[in-house]
Amino acid sequence: MSKQQRDALDAAMRTSPFDTSMTPGTHRADFEERLTPPLPDDVTGHDVRVGGVPALRLDVPGATRPGTLVYFFGGGYVVGSPRSGARLAVALARRTGLAPVAVEYRRAPEHRFPAPVDDALAFYRGLLDDGTPAESVVLAGDSAGGGLAVALMLAARDAGLPLPAGAVVFSAWADLTLTSPTFETKHGIDPLFSRAAMAWYAGHYLDGADPAQPLASPALADLTGLPPLLVQAGSHEVLLGDSVRLAAAAAAADVDVRLEVTPDVPHVFQNAFGALDEADAALDRAADFLVSVLERRALERPAPERPAPEPVTSLSA
């Protein structure tokens, strides 16, 4: 792996430190301009609605494997869109062969907690109602979208819905109490965020709601019954502690969980695929995980009952 690549990514991220004086509107415009690239030339996006929730279905060449990849974009519940999340959704689709769809959940401050969770659950319920088997669905998300993916599984579990086959989360923001020790130990090492930056997002999203609620901070929840979970993070991010807490909570609840911490890389480093070897390797592992959980669920699915053969009443030569 290349130290030059890691250093270049760190330097690039330090040119645009988070400005807590920004308004949500200013931040959205900046995010859209700098961090929402156009779709690749060979990918087509289609606006759809599932369960009343808008989403972006992405047609990716070669994505013909049975199953659906549901992606939740990051942005602190304030910024971002399905198109900003499409970069990683497409990267996973190319590696897994799964058709991806990015959910357009509502954002704060216009729509505060728990609006994104409500949208995610409505989308998932709509997917099931439309005939998609839960065992053919996998989830993925980055940052706030990673936390949302886990919150969705909690909400679906509590609603008595069948759960997806598994989920992958990248640098999940999963503890909105902002009490992780890595806010201190990684301060300054993280080239982009700080406790103050995450407090800006949390303030707009929670608007005084208890940050320790399970659907706001799934790393603090009882995760019993959740499907297999892969948690990836970089060692150079203040949210590293969120990933560690999330994986620990999953392990304590007997969830099949894997935690991967890649050294010397920042928040959602997977976005640097093609320019950072560690990003491509992490996405390869994430894709292998998603395919493996789908295959496992397919093997666990009961075989359809065959009708009993009719009795033989006569034989002829």
Catalytic residues: 143, 237, 267
Contact 103, 131 (CB under 8 A): no
CA distance 196 to 308: 67
Torsion over CA: 9, 12, 17, 18 (sign):
negative
Neighbours of 37 (CB within 10 A): 11
Please return the burial class of 155, using the count of CB atoms within 10 Å of its CB with bins 0-12, 13-18 and 19+.
buried
Neighbours of 302 (CB within 10 A): 5
CA distance 271 to 88: 6
Contact 57, 48 (CB under 8 A): yes
Directed axis angle between helix 24-35 and helix 82-96, to 10°?
40
Name residue 265's amino acid.
Answer: V
Tokens 């980055």 found at = 142
Q: What is the DSSP string of 240-289?
A: HHHHHHHHHHHHHTT--EEEEEETT--TTGGGGTTT-HHHHHHHHHHHHH
